[in-house]
Structure 1
Amino acid sequence: MHHRSLARRSLLARAASLGAAAALPPRPATAAPLPQGAADRHHRYEPTPESLARHRTATWFRRDKFGIFLHWGVYAVPHWGDDDWSSEWYLYAMNASAKGGVHERHRRVYGAGFPYDAFIPRFTAERYDPRSWVRLFERAGARYFVLTAKHHDGFQLFPNTASDRHSVALGPHRDLVGDLFRAARGTRLKRGLYYSLGEFYHPALGTPPVNPYTHEPVPYTGYRPVDDYVRQYAHVHLRTLVDRYDPDLLWADGQGSHDFAGGAGHIFRPARWDWRGDEILAHYYNRAELRPHPKEVVVNDRFTASHADYAVVEGDKPSYPLRPGPWEACLTMSRSWGYMDPTYRIKPAVQLVRLLVDIVAKNGNLLLNIGPRPDGTIPGWQRERLLAIGAWLAVNGRAVYGSRPWHRAEDGAVRYTVGEDGAFHIIPLSRPSGRLSLPADLPLRDGDRIRLLGHPGGPLDWRRTADGCEITLPTGGPPGPGGPEFPVVLRAVRGVDR
């Protein structure tokens, strides 16, 4: 994640690892080996624009609408940021001497001789219970999740042969990706993985880490020297994630070439660079397609490939436009993407529900981020907000899941969706009182019945007026979960209620 959107010399000799690399654990369930003749029964993708363009966005992605993003890694240990830097950018921020908040605080709290990698042993995950995470996601009404398999600091939550900078060799000594994927097996949750293509600092990118106070070289813990960062490192990681865990979604990031000044240096990749994204997409699509029972998978638009299944809009925006193609808004609950304590700019639950409604009405998905602690627990204020969203969806989910946009997404503070069964949904972002006046061109016909979801009463009275239509709302307390500030859903159907 970009640090400003609330979220992101010579080569060193091989760095000394903090611990010996552990043997790879048994593989979780993955795609079956490709049977002989499978390519004849299904379409094989080639790493070319023409071939990849045949891939269509997964039906489940367009239907499911709501997912959970998880930024979890070593940066959860210092868990600190400021107005310039989100916590998951700590490694870069401690090098930004010209923007001294994190840089000076690190010196004061940990000392100039304490490198970022000294946090790795403190990233323990000792209370990590992936089954409880999965239960929380289900209770939140989420239909998919995306876990940061590797963020910009280069620490990997999965074992692999390209590096020893991972959670089985170091820190937790657990396959954190595999544990969560196994816990979600057998649920309706689709499973996704985030992967940062570039890194803040990496010897093979020409950006070996240095002490930000002395400017002397420091080891890059777990580094195995490579000549080709893309082929021998990034693609090994990505193929491991695809082949070992069989994800339903791949979410790329860290693909650009940036220098945000402040003395922290150039990051992610050199100016002229090729991630060879078409090769990864073809491999991923083929693993999903060339099996006895093909499955639908999706990738976002950050692989710098010739194709993408959907677009990403990152961070809070003044407004979101109605888009014809599939897209996803990824947002945080607060200032930071990674765990930060104390935190600020925390969005109340009602704001998160309103954002979900607004984004879905405009043909998008909401990928809502949480940041677990280094011990693997999810802060209570994050859990409370997820459960509030889930309670709202339990009553009003028919206006969200499987919905599609109407030709106009909004009128003032009212949003519209069309359900899978053709029902028309009118969603005021906060509960109106008395009568709700709406434009005349809404697809309402004489004899249609309108109900307020979550309200025990019968159909609402409504009538046409000289310049529109008017719906009489019930008196009394708010329907369903939340209070009067939460969105409500008016469901209009043809002739009889469903």
Structure 2
Amino acid sequence: MKYAFLSFISGVFLWTSAVAQQHSEQNHDKYVWPKDETVKQKLNSWQTIKFGLLMHWGTYSEWGIVESWSLCPEDEGWCERKGPHSANWYDYKKAYEGLQTTFNPVKFNPERWANAAKQAGMKYMIFTTKHHDGFCMFDTKQTDYKITDKKTPFSSNPRSNVTKEILNAFRQQDFMVGTYFSKPDWHTEHYWWPYFPPKDRNVSYDPKKYPELWKKYSDFTYNQIEELMTGYGKVDILWLDGGWVRPASTIDSTISWQRTIPYSQDINMARIAAMGRQHQPGLLVVDRTVSGEFENYVTPEQQIPDHYMPIPWESCMTMGNSWSYIPKENFKPARKLIQTLVDIVAKNGNLLLNIAPGPDGEWHEEAYQRLQEIGKWIAVNGESIYDTKPLAPYRQGQWAFTTNSQARYVSYLPTDSEKLLPASLTIPSLTTSPKAKISILGSTQTLKITKTQDGISVSVPEKVRQQLANQPVWVLKIVG
């Protein structure tokens, strides 16, 4: 991860300034709708489920540091090395890669994760099978830098192929499942060729000058993805990260971070996508930030568009401050997370919320608590989220609008100080028929409606206000 969308069509707000670490502005006018009918059907289904789980997990969790990026020899805050080996990059890389020999997540229990995610209302899951550091959380045959290698203590565990175990556990709970896969690999000599020490995140040689070496890397990448597409059951989404690995023809010179890409790094996405869909018909391919036919939905990171977007999109965001495990995480309140979900859905997006397992194979207990709180709200108000479409004016002030074939839903997002729903609500830009009935989810009482110049006014009885006190979002349901 570690992208920051510095401009997002007409603007965005930043979730936290600390995550503004890579520059991933993108022109979404270049979005290409899929032509394959099975892909279109899968994409339509994905757009109805709204809420997913992302997990960043690897050997880096042992040190409680940023995922992969401390290996990157760039003078950026998120690449900073710390600890006894930090003074020398070569010593640091050796020590970092030595974490393979101590990684032993003995509390690994993906069924607990899947149960907690399901109870929270999540319906799809993306797992980091390999991040930029190249350590494989699956049983690849292409390298021994993997969790199942004999050098790794956890390899003796019958569940050592954690990708397979995680995908199985979530499929058993009826989740769509996806594999995060990093296109760059900073471990293999075919990407960071030792003859030329790496200068930055990019390949350390010019692929045009050394085509045989680049072909080995492209085949290595293809073979690993094929392993994931053939040996791990049904896979719904191939979620590709590392947008600097791209053909020169896709580099947009108007976007600052793309101007820094020194070489064409073409791994032949057409070949990869065709292979993936041969094994997994309807597979959604998400080649992040590379606009075109292999980016089936776009993925603003740690940010939310400030307006409705008519294309498929997903905000990927952290439950705490970090993508990777840190010992003391600052988790966002459930109230904020629920309001974030409501905001995103009203603008036509999905929320992919990241939780990072630790070196022992467990989440922070506070993460489970947050999911329980979200689940309580979803149990009452989920009908305003799932299988809905945005309704104009989408988001206006503290209001969010969605609809389905049975009803319209108007969500009120209170400020932190609002503990009770106002006794009188003026809903802007909304009209109703004389036969319309309005209620608040969680209460069966029909409310009184009065037409106003700008919309409608709804009276909320004191009994209902008290009954539904302290909600993160109140949802009004309008039928008729």
Q: For the superposition of Structure 1 and Structure 2, which TM-score range results when normalised by the shorter chain?
A: 0.7 to 0.9
Partner of 1:2: 2
Change (3 A) 1:241 1:132: same
User: Distance in 1 between the 2:107 and 2:244 partners?
Assistant: 35
User: Distance in 2 between the 1:101 and 1:312 partners?
Assistant: 22
AA aligned opposite 2:264: R
Residues 47-81 of structure 1: per-residue CA shift (max 9 Å, x gap): xx99966641523201110000000111111113x
Shift of 1:180: 1.3
Contact 2:100 2:147 in 1 (8 A): no
Shift of 1:478: 6.1
Partner of 1:434: 423
Matched, 1:247 2:235: yes
User: Distance in 2 between the 1:438 and 1:303 partners?
Assistant: 37
Partner of 1:67: 52
Change (3 A) 1:244 1:471: same
| Pairing 1:240-389 to 2, within 5 Å after superposition | 240-245=227-232, 246-256=234-244, 271-289=263-281, 296-302=282-288, 304=290, 306-317=293-304, 319-344=305-330, 346-389=331-374
Matched, 1:449 2:437: yes
Contact 2:34 2:296 in 1 (8 A): no
Partner of 1:425: 409
Change (3 A) 1:103 1:179: same
Q: Match of 2:462, SS?
A: coil
Shift of 1:140: 1.2
Shift of 1:92: 2.5
Partner of 1:197: 183
Change (3 A) 1:306 1:388: same
Residues 395-418 of structure 1: per-residue CA shift (max 9 Å, x gap): 100000100011321121100000
Partner of 1:220: none
Residues 461-489 of structure 1: per-residue CA shift (max 9 Å, x gap): 111124421011232576888x6250011
Normalised by the size of structure 1, how large is the TM-score?
Answer: 0.75
Partner of 2:67: 88
User: Distance in 2 between the 1:50 and 1:391 partners?
Assistant: 36
Shift of 1:313: 1.1
Q: Match of 1:233, SS?
A: helix
2:104 counterpart (124, 127, 143) = 124
Residues 202-224 of structure 1: per-residue CA shift (max 9 Å, x gap): 42124549799xxxxxxxxxxxx
User: Which segment drifts farther, 147-156 or 243-252?
Assistant: 243-252
Shift of 1:139: 1.0
| Pairing 1:83-232 to 2, within 5 Å after superposition | 87-92=66-71, 95=73, 102-107=80-85, 115-169=95-149, 170-171=151-152, 172-173=154-155, 174-200=160-186, 202-208=188-194, 228-232=215-219
Residues 117-166 of structure 1: per-residue CA shift (max 9 Å, x gap): 12122321211011111111111110010000101111111112211111
Partner of 2:450: 463
User: Distance in 1 between the 2:213 and 2:110 partners?
Assistant: 33
Contact 2:426 2:458 in 1 (8 A): yes
AA aligned opposite 2:479: V
Normalised by the size of structure 2, how large is the TM-score?
Answer: 0.78
Contact 2:302 2:318 in 1 (8 A): yes
Contact 1:205 1:229 in 2 (8 A): no
Residues 150-197 of structure 1: per-residue CA shift (max 9 Å, x gap): 011111111122111111114321100111122234322111110011
User: Distance in 1 between the 2:345 and 2:81 partners?
Assistant: 40
User: Distance in 2 between the 1:226 and 1:480 partners?
Assistant: 67
Change (3 A) 1:364 1:467: closer
Partner of 2:251: none
AA aligned opposite 1:433: P
Moved over 3 A (4+): 3-8, 49-55, 95-102, 104-114, 206-212, 303-307, 476-481
AA aligned opposite 1:190: M
AA aligned opposite 2:235: P
User: Distance in 2 between the 1:226 and 1:180 partners?
Assistant: 34
Contact 2:85 2:95 in 1 (8 A): no
AA aligned opposite 1:242: M
Shift of 1:460: 1.1
User: Distance in 1 between the 2:76 and 2:316 partners?
Assistant: 29
Shift of 1:97: 6.5
User: Distance in 2 between the 1:480 and 1:285 partners?
Assistant: 50
User: Distance in 2 between the 1:149 and 1:91 partners?
Assistant: 19
Q: Match of 1:275, SS?
A: coil
Contact 1:64 1:402 in 2 (8 A): yes
Partner of 1:56: 40
Q: Match of 2:474, SS?
A: coil
Contact 1:158 1:177 in 2 (8 A): yes
Change (3 A) 1:418 1:211: closer
Shift of 1:387: 1.6
Contact 2:183 2:245 in 1 (8 A): no
User: Distance in 2 between the 1:244 and 1:98 partners?
Assistant: 38
* Count of paired positions: 415
Contact 2:431 2:456 in 1 (8 A): no
AA aligned opposite 1:434: A
User: Distance in 1 between the 2:78 and 2:454 partners?
Assistant: 59
Any gaps of 5 or more consecutive residues in structure 1? 9-48, 81-86, 213-224, 259-265, 290-295
User: Distance in 1 between the 2:467 and 2:361 partners?
Assistant: 32
